[in-house]
Amino acid sequence: MRFRDSMQFGVLLISCLLIVLPSLSVAQKPNVVAVPAPRTSATSGKDMYLAYCAACHGREGKGDGPVATSLKVPPGDLTSLSRRNDGKFPSVQVVNVITGRAGVPAHGSKEMPVWGPVFMTMGQQHESEARLRVANLSDYVKSLQRK
């Protein structure tokens, strides 16, 4: 192979690598970007679920959201909560997880709850609106239970 041919081959090889390598890294792990929580209606548990939970837990609650593969702790299957609790939906536990009172490793420590403070801020510190949000979100999760 002549020097010119080997140089052209090298340029071609580097060009191919520059095209292929970035796509390989994207295919392995999605790029997760943190953004502020969008404002939703406090009366729609479904809208809140889709805005705040579906990225990890999936649209149907099975733990297969688009961000799930990038998490260290896989999100739980929310559709089996009742089944795992002798057929009874664990309302108090779900409320505690949403507000941050229950320790869920993927949601942060008890000192760093996820949705409780966010809902308080959205409701301009009105506890009644935050409670309404939590209750409606919990009710929606209850509606996701497999029969």
User: In the chain, which ranges are continuous DSSP H helix?
Assistant: 3-28, 45-52, 54-57, 91-99, 115-122, 127-143
Which tokens is 93 given?
């536990």
Q: What is the pTM of this model?
A: 0.70
What is the spatial distance between Cα 33 and Cα 109, in angstroms, rounded to a whole number?
A: 21
pLDDT in tens, the chain (147 residues): 544 444 444 444 444 444 444 544 444 555 656 667 788 999 999 999 999 999 989 999 999 999 888 888 888 899 999 999 999 999 999 999 888 887 666 555 543 346 778 888 887 778 899 999 999 999 999 999 997
What is the spatial distance between Cα 144 and Cα 30, in angstroms, rounded to a whole number?
A: 26
Ordered by start, the domain boundaries in the chain are 1-31, 45-143
